[in-house]
A and B are shown apart, each in its own frame.
Chain A
Amino acid sequence: MTTLDLTGLATRPSQVWGAVRLVPLVRDEPVNDLRLHPQLYDDAVGLVEVDPRHAYVSYIPHGFVATWTGDGTPAAAYGTQLSADGNSPPRATMSLRFHRRMARRQAKDRLRFLPMHLALEGYLALHFGGPSLAWEEWSQRAIRQGLSPRVEEAYVGAEVRGLADALRVFEIHPNQCGVMVYVADALAAAFAVPHPDDYRALHPTLLQDLYGELIHHYATLMAPVQDFRARIADTHIRSLAHLRTAVAEQERAWGHFHDTTMAGGLLDHAYTWQSVYQMGGFTLSRFLPEFRPKQDSHIGEAITDGRGRIAYLKTFRLSESQVRRGHLLSRLAANDWHIADTAADLGIHEAQLGLRLESAGFGFLLRQDVLDRYRKQKRTRSR
């Protein structure tokens, strides 16, 4: 359980377009030995310049599809992966079957698998495989298959109003390696890559990422957000040098305000980390929040270097109902999936918990007769 630490990534002034605010993250020294898998650049060659004297580890962001399988059929990476040399295919891929029309697009030899869906399902399935102890209330299905396959709803970035324009008019900073996306000043996603070239290549893909329903609603309903315009008190300014100091102070103040206040929902919380791969000094891990209802909750994945600094980061803001579901599941897991214990832990009746599980979409986990009993109990109590 540790918090997210963005050391090495400096905040620069935000750029606003409509309800979308983009806060650039800049690295003083880019990470050179971790780069994007060159195969993703089939069409745009030359972005990854490998110095022969240096070994590098490449990563393959989830959500990309390339022709990785031996027979040339497209496959999607299952979550972000690390690999030591550019040629080996990623270890875990999910082969994709496309309908005829989609298959035509394979001609371009590079397809992008739309959403972060895989990763999203992956996250939840990875952590909630299902009941680890077979208490009598659980159905056979829950025990055999767990929660998977799960479907979470989210919106593609193109559906988020104003995001496309905001990304188009956004002016990328030199050495920019990441961005924080705010919609109506709610943090929608944080995104960081090791190298500015990687960022340039991936900047437009923010549009094809997933955003939670909360973000979609905010973008549709909210009025344009205000710019945080610089304000300098002029009373004490006597010379250009004074002015210059005041300007630097303004820039520092913004960075501080952003990191402590605006990004607080992401950076202040503790996360459960699970490391997935380790290679060449880099660790790929996924993290889950504490699932506290009515608070920002972000899930995500990160690659950290030997010193624990973030090299790659991608987060997704859960919607309120997703947080509630996550909360339920995490409480269940903490109590060894024992319904009565969990209900006591939450301070409610067993039947109430059962019905909450059902309304959260987990009805299939419980045995039919148990669920029926809960419903009956509720009816008798409410009478």
Chain B
Amino acid sequence: MDSYGDLIAADDVLLFVNAAITSTGQREFHSDAGEQRLSLDFLHAYMLGNYRDLYAGVLALDINDHNAALIIRRLLETTGDATADQRRSEGRLIASRLATLPPQRVYGLFDALRRAGVNNRRTRAIIRDWLSARPDLAFDAVKYRSGLKRALRHAHLSPATEELGTFLFVPLTRKHYATPLLETWRRAHYEQAALYELPYTAAEGFAAKHGIPRNVFLERIAPRMTRLETLRLQDSAHKIGTTGIQADLARMPLTRLATYVLSLPVQDRLHRRAELTHALESAAGRVAGSHRGSWGKVTAVLDDSFSSFGSVHKRHRPLAVSLACHYLLGALADNYTGLWTSGRTDALLTYPYGPTPVGRRILDALDTTPSRLVIVSDGWDNAPPGLAAEVLRIWRTRLDPERHTSIVHLNPVYDAADFDVRRLSAAVPTAGIRDAEDLPALVELAQFAEGRTGLAELITYMDTRAARMNSGHHQERAR
């Protein structure tokens, strides 16, 4: 039997995990960026102060990159408070998490550490190890030049080669570089043809410098773009008459793809229905992997009310998560029904509109007698308010006390005022969600949120996740 303290600790950790999954300190539909950041800061300070081990352990879960960077930063800032054992385990967690973070975030993090004056031995070692593990430092030097430069300077490291040092600190003093990429960069200053061999972001500056027309530039740089750059630019490229940029949608990660679909006007989605549906389905199939078709009869209630618009900073994010979940659940289940709160039935044409009658829609969902009910909503229920809670409560206590139907509520929005994601009902577990890809893991995590398992199980769970991450078997991070 867990003591009160353990129960509270388990609760606090889950609360923090929910926040760390959903909040990015940006503006949301119901709260602005300032409230989000303040609320998140408090949670980080609270966790670090009370449960340092668990706080570090959260790095192994599917929290978002923003919070991962914040946790690493706070751990490094407070190195002095940690015991030798803690430092060892934290060090492993930090190193494995840094390896999965996008490089621009890591350079940003190093820069934040520099500005905060955090320069202890552990920090320097971590920067050193991360840099030595980079596959191609010359590429980093071209693409993230100032980031790399400041990281080296801050950690008192000498560049791997003398040439790299010259490139970073006095780049144009050399007549020739032996490294091909660095040489290309030097030539790009004088020669237009050379810039097309650089990474897109670096080339863009040179294109402006040489006054190359945008459509010519985009046409020729297309092969050098990353997946996401292609996806981001293809529509604006089409508008200026460049057809060379063609994103391979079928290879895009699921939630990213859903965001892209929602960014298209409804007319375009109608024209490209076959292509988009195929892309979404194959992305969902990849995520489902070996679990495909193993979830039985699943019904989902998906929120497409006006508030699922998110905010101008996270445009359509909540709706994109719903849409991605729709396709993912379709792949996971062998019999799937998706119900949108607005009552519309064509998932591909969805857009944020109208109120949130979640209660009514849950009733419709329960009518299909599912074995699993998944609700994706921001927790606001206003037509009428509180109805979803009542329906769920009565279902749990009166109509299905043996729990034949498992119900889980996934919430993509952090509620700054409550320090947690908003719950629909106490009778149903709620977990934060950021990427639909994490859905299977979150449904696993949600059982803890129901309060039926205690701290011991939670710690075991986090340890296995940490072990999995440290051994390098973490899931492919499809961001």
- Name A residues whose Cβ lies closer than 8 Å to a Cβ of B: 12-16, 24, 169, 171-174, 227-232, 234, 237-240, 243-244, 247, 250-251, 254
| Min C-beta distance of B157 to chain A, whole Å | 49
Closest A residue, CB atoms, query B366: A240
Closest A residue, CB atoms, query B29: A169
What is the total number of residues of chain B having a CB less than 8 Å from a CB of chain A? 30
Interface centre among B29, B307, B355 (most CB of A within 10 A): B355
Extra A-B contacts (10), CB below 8 Å, given A172-B354, A173-B383:
A15-B355, A16-B385, A227-B385, A229-B384, A230-B387, A237-B399, A240-B366, A243-B391, A243-B399, A247-B360
- The 5 lowest CB-CB distance pairs between A and B, nearest first, are A229-B386, A13-B384, A230-B387, A171-B306, A171-B355
- For the complex, what is the distance from the CA of A74 to the CA of B386, rounded to whole Å? 48
Closest A residue, CB atoms, query B387: A230
**CB neighbours of B354 from chain A (8 A):** 171-174
| Min C-beta distance of A365 to chain B, whole Å | 50
Looking at chain A's contact residues, is the secondary structure mostly helix, strand, loop, or mixed?
loop
**CB neighbours of A15 from chain B (8 A):** 355, 382, 385
B36 at interface, CB cutoff 8 A = no
A171-B355, A230-B390, A231-B390 known; A250-B305 Cβ under 8 A: no
**CB neighbours of A244 from chain B (8 A):** 363
| Min C-beta distance of B258 to chain A, whole Å | 21
Partner of A227, one of B353, B356, B359, B386: B386
**Within B374-400, which residues are at the interface with A (CB < 8 Å)?**
382-387, 389-391, 393-395, 397-399
| Min C-beta distance of B171 to chain A, whole Å | 49
**Interface pair B366/A172, CB less than 8 Å apart:** no
**Interface pair B30/A169, CB less than 8 Å apart:** yes
**CB neighbours of A227 from chain B (8 A):** 385-386
Partner of A228, one of B342, B385, B389: B385
A-B contact pairs, 9 of them (CB 8 A): A12-B355, A15-B382, A171-B306, A171-B307, A232-B394, A234-B394, A240-B367, A243-B395, A247-B360
A230-B359, A230-B390, A231-B390 known; A240-B385 Cβ under 8 A: no
**Interface pair B384/A230, CB less than 8 Å apart:** yes
**Interface pair A240/B399, CB less than 8 Å apart:** yes
**CB neighbours of B29 from chain A (8 A):** 169
**Interface pair B384/A237, CB less than 8 Å apart:** no
**CB neighbours of A173 from chain B (8 A):** 354-355, 383
- For the complex, what is the distance from the CA of A232 to the CA of B359, rounded to whole Å? 12
**CB neighbours of B387 from chain A (8 A):** 230, 247, 250
Partner of A172, one of B306, B367, B393, B399: B306
**CB neighbours of A228 from chain B (8 A):** 384-385
| Min C-beta distance of B306 to chain A, whole Å | 4
Contact pattern, B 9-50, Cβ under 8 Å of A = 1, otherwise 0: 000000000000000000001100000000000000000000
Closest B residue, CB atoms, query A244: B363
**CB neighbours of A169 from chain B (8 A):** 29-30, 307
Interface centre among B306, B353, B382, B393 (most CB of A within 10 A): B382
Interface centre among A169, A173, A229, A230 (most CB of B within 10 A): A230
A171-B354, A174-B354, A232-B394 known; A240-B386 Cβ under 8 A: no
| Min C-beta distance of B315 to chain A, whole Å | 15
**Interface pair B384/A254, CB less than 8 Å apart:** yes
**Interface pair A234/B397, CB less than 8 Å apart:** yes
- For the complex, what is the distance from the CA of A239 to the CA of B394, rounded to whole Å? 10
**Within B325-343, which residues are at the interface with A (CB < 8 Å)?**
342
A173-B355, A244-B363 known; A13-B385 Cβ under 8 A: yes
A13-B383, A240-B399 known; A247-B355 Cβ under 8 A: no
**Interface pair A171/B385, CB less than 8 Å apart:** no
**Interface pair A230/B385, CB less than 8 Å apart:** yes
**Interface pair B363/A247, CB less than 8 Å apart:** yes
- For the complex, what is the distance from the CA of A243 to the CA of B353, rounded to whole Å? 27
**CB neighbours of A16 from chain B (8 A):** 385
**Interface pair B394/A243, CB less than 8 Å apart:** yes
Closest A residue, CB atoms, query B367: A240
| Min C-beta distance of B381 to chain A, whole Å | 9
| Min C-beta distance of A315 to chain B, whole Å | 24
Closest B residue, CB atoms, query A239: B399
- For the complex, what is the distance from the CA of A66 to the CA of B366, rounded to whole Å? 53
- For the complex, what is the distance from the CA of A174 to the CA of B384, rounded to whole Å? 15
| Min C-beta distance of B462 to chain A, whole Å | 36
| Min C-beta distance of B186 to chain A, whole Å | 50
